[in-house]
Amino acid sequence: VEEGIDLKAEISRLKKEKNAVVLGHYYQADEIQEIADFIGDSLALAQWAAKTDASIIVMCGVHFMGETAKILCPDKKVLIPDLNAGCSLADSCPDDKFARFIEEHPGHTVISYVNTSAAVKALTDVVVTSTNAKQIVESFPEDQKIIFGPDKNLGNYINSITGRSMLLWDGACHVHEKFSVEKILQLKEQYPDADVLVHPECKGAVAKLADKVASTAGLLKHAMASSKKDFIVATESGILFEMRKKCPQKNFIPVPPEDSTCACNECNFMRLNTLKKLYNTLKYEWPEVVVDKDIAQKAVRPIRRMLEISE
């Protein structure tokens, strides 16, 4: 990056010049959220990608989000500031092993969380996000046998609120698994009136302490509508940027990870994206997200099915 350059101004100029749109997930660093054209949860990012008429989509999130955008918009250029921005949850479900799991359990509908590779989506009947998982699971008859992957915590939570007994893949997110009952109870002692907000990727024991279990967008909505002043937030701490912006008079307390002295629990993959990398990505139109054509053709169906059901 050239010295003395005004990165924000240059990013805005390049966006206009190239008819590019910058989409950012709520877990991005504040500097990215400040400059993105749109920020949202994983469902909203997919919905945005599906409807934008920009020529270039820069996905400030992790790789599977870029893949989802590319699968929905095969003719657009989809860029991601750092190709190493993966996801431990997606990695916990390799496509060859998932294919074997499906083969071993015939007669099941396959529902996959959006946090999966394109190859896993290609094996899937319908994709879900944490915003629409309950609605989509309930759109199937009660006696329908279902495989749900890869997040066992989200799967267990959906089973518990729908009374279903979906067969679960044994995967998890290394960030959300780090939230512990102890740290939340400690914060509850300090802020006894606070609402505890929990993402469903957290362990069941943590979800039990929640006043609200929801996706990032759902937790934000709850905080905005609530008359409470304090909120203890058990999800990646990037969401606090938008919570504080939308509710400046309220107090948001991030739950620290159980095994560390850090005040916040951040996703190392999400945080690989920086303003400098975003600038270079726009300037050189690199790195690009590429999805194999055959896989994309299969994966687009369960993603579109999700978008239709969630309309």
Annotated binding site: 25, 42, 87, 113-115, 130, 173, 199-201, 216, 267
Residue closer to ligand 13P by CB (options 173, 278) is 173
Residue closer to ligand 13P by CB (options 11, 93) is 93
151 binds ligand 13P (CB under 6 A): no
Q: Report the partner that residue 41 touches, choosing among ligand 13P, ligand SF4, none (CB closer than 5 to 8 A by kind).
A: ligand 13P
112 binds ligand 13P (CB under 6 A): no
82 binds ligand 13P (CB under 6 A): no
Residues 6+ away with beta carbon under 8 Å from 197: 210, 211, 212, 214, 219, 222, 223, 231, 232, 233, 234, 235
69 binds ligand SF4 (CB under 6 A): no
Binding mask 114-133 for ligand SF4 (x = CB under 6 A): -x------------------
88 binds ligand 13P (CB under 6 A): no
52 binds ligand 13P (CB under 6 A): no
Binders of ligand 13P among 200-219, rule CB under 6 A?
A: 201, 215-216
For the bound state, the minimum distance from the C-beta of residue 215 to ligand 13P, rounded and expressed in Å, comes to 4
Q: What stretches of the chain show up as alpha helix (H) in DSSP?
A: 7-17, 30-35, 42-51, 63-72, 88-91, 95-104, 118-121, 133-138, 152-162, 181-190, 204-207, 216-225, 239-246, 275-284, 293-309
Residue 155 CB-density burial (10 A; 0-12 exposed, 13-18 middle, 19+ buried): buried
Q: Report the partner that residue 136 touches, choosing among ligand 13P, ligand SF4, none (CB closer than 5 to 8 A by kind).
A: none
Under rule CB under 6 A, how many of the chain's residues touch ligand SF4?
Answer: 13
92 binds ligand 13P (CB under 6 A): no
273 binds ligand 13P (CB under 6 A): no
**Using an 8 Å Cβ cutoff, are 50 and 72 in contact?**
yes
- Name which of 92, 43, 91 is nearest 69 in CA terms: 43
180 binds ligand 13P (CB under 6 A): no
Residue 98 CB-density burial (10 A; 0-12 exposed, 13-18 middle, 19+ buried): buried
State how far the alpha carbon of 250 is from the alpha carbons of 160, 190, 230, in Å: 31, 16, 6
**Site of interaction with ligand SF4 (CB under 6 A):** 62, 87-89, 115, 173-176, 236, 267, 269-270
